[in-house]
């Protein structure tokens, strides 16, 4: 279990994140929803130790190779797609084999010899996911993993994450600005606005019967 306590992040006078208490339990999938600038990405960055909060603590998360994080715009190095992954696995046996397997799973098996920096945004996201999943993970933190993918790419990613979750029963935390994706993929939804958790609950409850006016206002923009 990962527990955030009294996390506070401010930039000058602007509140970026204010989370008094939040828990993530192993064996569950969490979808963090909210508008742009609501604090979704910052929350993941705090969990990954990329952003240090001004106050508060995170318990239960050891950042090692079993925790995978996919930024919204993963970087594609100017080497082949295969090497983009295998070069991060040099401490493993058969890095090329692991990389190839991972690429096939995200549907990029035919692009292994292309240069990483020539890929489209959606292909980069799938490359990034393959890089993260090339070795077993217990915790996945994904920042809008399908924001640049097309419908087919989104299906591939969602199916792969479903498969990963069924196999590992690990902890999946992902952000999305599309509530419908949270409905498909999450066991619990967290709605953020202006850096604060407004409401949490199962997707069915939260989307069918939102308690907070802010949640209702956000969901009114979407057809779910």
Partner 1 sequence: MELINSIFDLLFGSDPELRQIIAVTLRMSLFSTLISSLIGIPAGVLLGANEFRGKAFISRLVNTLLGLPPVVAGLLVLLLLSRSGPLGSLRLLYTVEAMVIAQVLLITPFITAMTANLVGISASSINETLVGVGIRGAKRLKYFLLDFRVPFLSIILAGFGRSIAEVGAVQMVGGNVQFKTRVMTTAIMMQTNMGRFDFAVALGITLLLISFLINSLVTSIQKAALDD
Query: Which 109-138 positions form the footprint of partner 1 (CB under 8 A)?
Result: 128, 131-132, 134
Which position among 1, 11, 15, 50 is part of the footprint of partner 1 (CB under 8 A)?
50
Which position among 87, 177, 178, 205 is part of the footprint of partner 1 (CB under 8 A)?
87
Q: Considering only CA atoms, which of 173, 174, 183 is closest in space to residue 219?
A: 183
Which position among 8, 23, 58, 73 is part of the footprint of partner 1 (CB under 8 A)?
73
**Shortest Å, Cβ 117 to partner 1:** 9
Which helix (H) or strand (E) is 36 found in, with range?
none
**Shortest Å, Cβ 179 to partner 1:** 25
**Neighbouring C-alpha atoms within 13 Å toward the C-beta of 150:** 4
Which position among 1, 79, 180, 224 is part of the footprint of partner 1 (CB under 8 A)?
79
CA distance 50 to 210: 32
Binding mask 157-196 for partner 1 (x = CB under 8 A): ----------------------------------------
Does 95 contact partner 1 by CB under 8 A? Answer: no
Which pair of tokens denotes residue 111? 């692009």
CA distance 74 to 76: 7
CA distance 6 to 44: 15
Number of residues lying near partner 1 (CB under 8 A): 24
User: Which residues in the chain belong to E strands, given as ranges?
Assistant: 2-11, 14-24, 29-33, 55-59, 67-70, 139-143, 171-176, 188-193, 196-201
**Shortest Å, Cβ 121 to partner 1:** 12
Pairing outcome for strands 67-70 and 55-59? unpaired
Does 58 contact partner 1 by CB under 8 A? Answer: no
The gap from C-alpha 20 to its chain's centroid, in whole angstroms, comes to 21
Span of 4-12, 72-80, 172-180, 203-211 interacting with partner 1 by CB under 8 A:
72-80
Does 70 contact partner 1 by CB under 8 A? Answer: yes
**Shortest Å, Cβ 131 to partner 1:** 6
- What's the CA angle centered on 46, arms 195 and 39, to 5 degrees? 20
Binding site for partner 1 (CB under 8 A): 45, 48-50, 63-65, 67-71, 73-75, 77-79, 87-88, 128, 131-132, 134
């Amino acid at each position: 279990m990962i527990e955030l306590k009294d996390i506070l992040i401010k930039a000058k006078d602007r509140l970026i994140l204010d989370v008094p208490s939040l828990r993530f339990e192993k064996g569950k999938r969490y979808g963090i929803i909210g508008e742009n600038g609501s604090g979704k990405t910052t929350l993941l960055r705090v969990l990954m130790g990329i952003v240090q909060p001004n106050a508060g603590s995170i318990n239960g998360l050891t950042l090692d190779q079993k925790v995978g994080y996919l930024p919204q715009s993963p970087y594609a190095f100017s080497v082949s797609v295969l090497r983009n992954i295998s070069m991060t696995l040099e401490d493993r046996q058969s890095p090329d084999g692991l990389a190839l397997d991972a690429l096939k799973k995200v549907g990029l098996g035919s692009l292994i010899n292309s240069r990483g920096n020539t890929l489209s945004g959606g292909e980069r996201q799938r490359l990034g996911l393959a890089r993260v999943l090339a070795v077993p993970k217990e915790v996945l933190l994904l920042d809008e993993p399908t924001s640049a993918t097309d419908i087919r790419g989104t299906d591939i990613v969602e199916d792969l994450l479903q498969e990963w979750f069924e196999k590992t029963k690990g902890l999946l935390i992902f952000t999305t600005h599309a509530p419908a994706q949270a409905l498909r993929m999450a066991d619990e939804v967290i709605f953020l606005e202006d850096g604060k958790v407004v409401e949490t609950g199962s997707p069915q409850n939260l989307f069918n019967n939102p308690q907070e006016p802010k949640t209702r206002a956000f969901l009114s923009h979407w057809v779910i």
